[in-house]
């Protein structure tokens, strides 16, 4: 909830993100008879930002990716949302199939995503990236043009994530000097050695230095960004003590702010009297097992095959756990147009089948794997029920699932096993059981530790984790971002008055 009188909530806010807060979809029916339904923001950042943009009566600019999205927009591709309330303007950018292939599946997700997650081998090859980069530039320019049509001298532009590495500089050229541009980079920043593999790396650095403020989840990513600027961008002056970069005629301030989740909402959802045994039964899990849980987008950065290898080792080492412990893995297919994601899906499914045929019995499977949609209420019930939550990314900017698990653990008896390679580990590492996701034996041993941990120790750890997750929640993150923006915005305006 945002206070209208909150001095830090900008009066003229323009949010830019790839994903949109509201999608219009056709429902059953034919031709003009078809009715249109609207999805609500699904959770996470979009749901968290929505009330802020409402309060500011702002503008949100995003890719319009739903079939029916453009059936409801005006000639400028704008629609008033939420439906019936008309609190703010959503401007949808209509992208051709070719643009989506190159900008989203191409440069965003086959160059920047593998680059920033330290998978240089998965970066697409030279034959395709230059075409994809041109489209990335074109799409960034279209978003920048859209921002310029809405921006005033008082505007704060707030850009989300790696889909818009070039937009800040393109926006800066077109909007009043007094308007402020801030950007949050939600994924890691790579080492200079890896960044050397980035085609058009200099353009991306220069693009991002069009921002007045650039935010990361943890200090390490901001430091690596400064190192990359020093090494690869001629003419940029980095002040490593003050976290400031001067480039051409602008100054970019770097900040770190670990994003949180809407902890109260997860806590409340977990306390509802959902019949968790029925949810488990539906998935084929017996209600009396000791339960391990994994919840991830099906992405190679999440370390799912490594997790399965550790589970196999765990069942080898602990024959007495066979029939008694079940690991439930909920995976959400993602970016399935990309070969690396297709290969990952195939590998994960075949490994689950192999491990299950090795240890499974007529009435028990060691790993229950599902790609079915799980409602937020059922997800929270599963988080609450889980005895051990296994989060094993090879690299992850933050990892919100870890925090959602903690916020949902209202009985304070579950154990969080958390990869040291996540942004979340910087905050929660002390009271989670730390794992190195590539150490098969180590993860198996950590799971043993977690399942044998005395109740009082589990409670002590979970209490501390919950204090952190409730204090540094999504609202705190937004307040802190807006406070940093307001400080800069104020100084820009006063410079202008002089």
Binding site for ligand G6P (CB under 6 A): 19, 161, 186-187, 334-335
DSSP letter at 68 equals T
Task: Choose the stretch contacting ligand ADP; rule: CB under 6 A; options: 21-29, 203-211, 397-405, 441-449.
Answer: 397-405
Count of residues of this chain found to bind ligand ADP when the rule CB under 6 A is applied: 13
Cα R_g (the chain), whole angstroms? 23
CA distance readout (Å), 155 to 96, 172, 181, 479: 29, 12, 8, 17
Scan for tokens 């190679």, then name that residue: 300
- For ligand G6P, the closer of residues 186 and 385 by Cβ is 186
Say if CB 321 and CB 360 are below 8 A apart.
no
Does 92 sit near ligand ADP (CB under 6 A)?
Answer: no
Q: How far is the CB of 65 from ligand G6P (least distance, A)?
A: 9
Residue 427 binds which entry of ligand G6P, ligand ADP, none, CB below 5-8 Å type-dependent: none
Cβ count near 180 (within 10 Å):
23
Residue 476 binds which entry of ligand ADP, ligand G6P, none, CB below 5-8 Å type-dependent: none
3-state class of 45 per DSSP? Answer: helix
Q: Map residues 166-195 to x or -, x wherever contact with ligand ADP holds by CB under 6 A.
A: ------------------------------
Does 138 sit near ligand ADP (CB under 6 A)?
Answer: no
Positions 23 through 62 that interact with ligand ADP (CB under 6 A): 43-44
3-state class of 434 per DSSP? Answer: strand
Q: How far is the CB of 46 from ligand G6P (least distance, A)?
A: 8
3-state class of 249 per DSSP? Answer: coil
Tokens of 181: 């541009």
- Among 254, 250, 249, 248, smallest CA distance to 228 is for 254
- For ligand ADP, the closer of residues 332 and 464 by Cβ is 332
Scan for tokens 């916020």, then name that residue: 407
Does 401 sit near ligand ADP (CB under 6 A)?
Answer: yes
List the end-to-end C-alpha distance of the chain, in Å, as a whole number. Answer: 36
Does 432 sit near ligand ADP (CB under 6 A)?
Answer: no
Tokens of 493: 């305006």
Q: How far is the CB of 17 from ligand G6P (least distance, A)?
A: 7
* Maximum Cα interatomic distance, the chain, rounded to a whole number of Å: 79
Q: Which residues are bridge partners to 184 per DSSP? A: 160, 215
**Inter-axis angle of helices 304-317 and 339-359, to 10 degrees?**
10
| Alpha-carbon gap, residue 298 to 300, rounded angstroms | 7
Q: How far is the CB of 263 from ligand ADP (least distance, A)?
A: 12
Q: How far is the CB of 374 from ligand ADP (least distance, A)?
A: 5
CA distance readout (Å), 80 to 54, 65, 66, 89, 437: 11, 17, 16, 5, 45
Does 295 sit near ligand ADP (CB under 6 A)?
Answer: yes
Residue 19 binds which entry of ligand ADP, ligand G6P, none, CB below 5-8 Å type-dependent: ligand G6P
Q: Taking CB positions, which residue lies at the least distance from ligand ADP?
A: 400
Cis peptide before 82 (omega within 30 of 0): yes
Q: How far is the CB of 341 from ligand ADP (least distance, A)?
A: 13
- For ligand ADP, the closer of residues 135 and 477 by Cβ is 477
Does 330 sit near ligand ADP (CB under 6 A)?
Answer: yes
- For ligand G6P, the closer of residues 53 and 309 by Cβ is 53
Does 304 sit near ligand ADP (CB under 6 A)?
Answer: no
Q: How far is the CB of 291 from ligand G6P (least distance, A)?
A: 26
Say if CB 397 and CB 188 are below 8 A apart.
yes
Task: Choose the stretch contacting ligand ADP; rule: CB under 6 A; options: 20-28, 92-100, 396-404, 444-452.
Answer: 396-404
Say if CB 83 and CB 22 are below 8 A apart.
yes
Positions 363 through 392 that interact with ligand ADP (CB under 6 A): 374, 379
Does 399 sit near ligand ADP (CB under 6 A)?
Answer: yes
Q: Residues in the site for ligand ADP, rule: CB under 6 A?
A: 43-44, 295, 297, 330, 332, 374, 379, 398-401, 404
């Amino acid at each position: 909830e945002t206070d209208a009188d909150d001095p830090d909530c900008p009066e003229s806010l323009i949010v830019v993100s790839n994903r949109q807060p509201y999608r219009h979809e056709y429902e059953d029916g034919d031709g003009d008879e078809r009715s249109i339904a609207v999805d609500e923001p699904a959770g996470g950042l979009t749901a968290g930002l929505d009330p802020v943009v409402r309060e500011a009566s702002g503008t949100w600019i995003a890719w319009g990716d739903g079939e029916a999205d453009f059936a409801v927009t005006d000639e400028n591709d704008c629609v008033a949302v939420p439906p019936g309330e008309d609190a703010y303007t959503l401007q949808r950018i209509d992208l051709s199939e070719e643009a989506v292939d190159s900008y989203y599946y191409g440069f965003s997700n086959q160059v920047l995503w593998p680059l920033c997650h330290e998978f240089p081998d998965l970066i697409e090859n030279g034959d395709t990236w230059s075409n994809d980069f041109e489209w990335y530039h074109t799409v960034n320019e279209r978003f920048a043009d859209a921002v310029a049509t809405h921006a005033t001298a008082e505007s704060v532009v707030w850009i989300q994530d790696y889909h818009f590495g070039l937009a800040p500089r393109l926006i800066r050229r077109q909007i009043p000097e007094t308007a402020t541009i801030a950007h949050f980079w939600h994924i890691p920043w790579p080492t200079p050695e890896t960044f050397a593999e980035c085609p058009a790396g200099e353009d991306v650095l220069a693009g991002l230095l069009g921002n007045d403020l650039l935010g990361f989840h943890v200090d390490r990513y901001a430091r690596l960004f400064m190192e990359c600027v020093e090494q690869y961008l001629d003419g940029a002056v980095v002040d490593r003590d003050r976290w400031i970069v001067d480039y051409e005629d602008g100054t970019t301030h770097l900040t770190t702010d670990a994003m949180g989740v809407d902890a109260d909402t997860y806590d409340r959802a977990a306390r509802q009297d959902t019949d968790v045994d029925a949810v488990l039964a539906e998935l084929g899990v017996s209600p009396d097992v000791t339960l391990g849980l994994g919840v991830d987008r099906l992405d190679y950065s999440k370390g799912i095959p490594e997790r399965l290898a550790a589970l196999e080792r765990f069942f080898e080492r602990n024959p007495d756990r066979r029939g008694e412990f079940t690991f439930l893995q909920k995976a959400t297919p993602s970016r399935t147009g990309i070969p690396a994601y297709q290969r990952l899906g195939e590998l994960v499914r075949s490994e689950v089948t192999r491990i299950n045929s090795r240890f499974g019995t007529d009435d028990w499977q060691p790993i229950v794997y599902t790609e079915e949609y799980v409602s937020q209420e059922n997800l929270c019930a599963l988080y609450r029920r889980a005895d051990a939550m296994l989060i094993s990314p090879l690299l992850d900017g933050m990892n919100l699932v870890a925090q959602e698990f903690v916020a949902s653990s209202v009985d304070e008896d579950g154990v969080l096993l958390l990869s040291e390679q996540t942004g979340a580990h910087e905050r929660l590492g002390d009271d989670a059981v730390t794992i190195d996701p590539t150490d098969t034996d180590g993860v198996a041993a950590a799971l043993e530790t977690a399942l044998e941990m005395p109740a009082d120790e589990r409670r002590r750890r979970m209490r501390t984790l919950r204090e952190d997750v409730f204090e540094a929640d999504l609202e705190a993150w937004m307040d802190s971002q807006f406070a940093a923006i307001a400080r800069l915005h104020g100084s820009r305006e006063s410079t202008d008055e002089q």
